[in-house]
Amino acid sequence: ASYETILVETRGRVGLITLNRPQALNALNDAIFRDLAQALDAFAADDGIGAVVLTGSAKAFAAGADIKEMASKDFIAAYTGNLIENWTCISRFRKPIVAAVAGYALGGGCEIAMMCDFIIAADTAKFGQPEIKLGTIPGSGGTQRLTKLIGRSKAMDMVLTGRMMDAAEAERSGLVSRVVPADQLLDETLKAAETIAGYSLPITMLAKEAVHRADETSLAEGVLFERRLFHATFGTEDRREGMAAFTEKRPPAFKHR
């Protein structure tokens, strides 16, 4: 497939998607989500892909939803057109997906990074939810995922002031899992994704599903859900192989990678 607004590559068992609208700092428009949905569907269907990395440029992961595309819409257009619904192609993606963020991750850019399973940031990364400055509010999880990740007090600060957070604060707050020097961002993120893609795919998918469930349920329900999925792993050859390999002091050869 050929794409207008993203670059798509495979590196071994890892799919790499690079947002590529440099003239607009990767502002997220309809075309980007048409391309992203198609690329993610292809990676979902490809047995050779065990994890995906989503990245942008050195200057911007993504500077938000495309303000020029949204500017003239009224309520009826936003509502009947279900504005932003197409963004859920990322949160609905079931294989592990890691965001590699350098530069600006603002508004919708921060929101799509948070839709990924975790974020690795360059020391140049800047996160923010500046929608308030435009007379609107976050529309794709910025008030919800950010609050779950960094807590209400800091989320309120970000959403109400519209200020930016640097990489160090983002790591301290739990928004990102690690910060690396900018020139190592892609390598480090690909390495993490390769590690994940080396495990059993159905098991990494179950693990991801279990962690995401924590956002949706009480502790008791979540722990029960987790235990049932844990039980389910006992129905797989890869669980048997993983434990046998440990006992036999050899690396596991997972079948369902």
**Binding footprint of ligand HXC on the chain (CB under 6 A):** 24-25, 27, 63-68, 84, 104, 106-108, 111, 130-131, 134, 138-140
CA distance 99 to 191: 13
For the question of residue 131 being annotated catalytic, the response is yes
For the question of residue 167 being annotated catalytic, the response is no
> Closest residue (Cβ) to ligand HXC?
107
Per annotation, catalytic residue among 56, 62, 131, 167: 131
Query: How many other C-beta atoms can be found within 10 angstroms of the C-beta atom of residue 226?
Result: 18
Strands 14-19 and 51-55: parallel
Q: Which is nearer to ligand HXC, 111 or 226 (CB)?
A: 111
* Contact call for residues 99 and 110 (beta carbons, < 8 A): no
Q: Which is nearer to ligand HXC, 144 or 236 (CB)?
A: 144
For the question of residue 65 being annotated catalytic, the response is yes
70, 68, 59: which is closest to 20 by C-alpha?
A: 59
| Residue 35 Cβ vs ligand HXC, minimum distance, rounded to whole Å | 17
CA distance 195 to 184: 16
| Residue 81 Cβ vs ligand HXC, minimum distance, rounded to whole Å | 13
For the question of residue 111 being annotated catalytic, the response is yes
DSSP 21: -
| Residue 136 Cβ vs ligand HXC, minimum distance, rounded to whole Å | 6
Instruction: Decide: helix, strand or coil at residue 82.
Output: coil
| Residue 147 Cβ vs ligand HXC, minimum distance, rounded to whole Å | 15
Per annotation, catalytic residue among 15, 50, 56, 108: 108
Secondary element (H or E) of residue 156: helix 152-161
Q: Which amino acids are annotated catalytic?
A: 65, 108, 111, 131
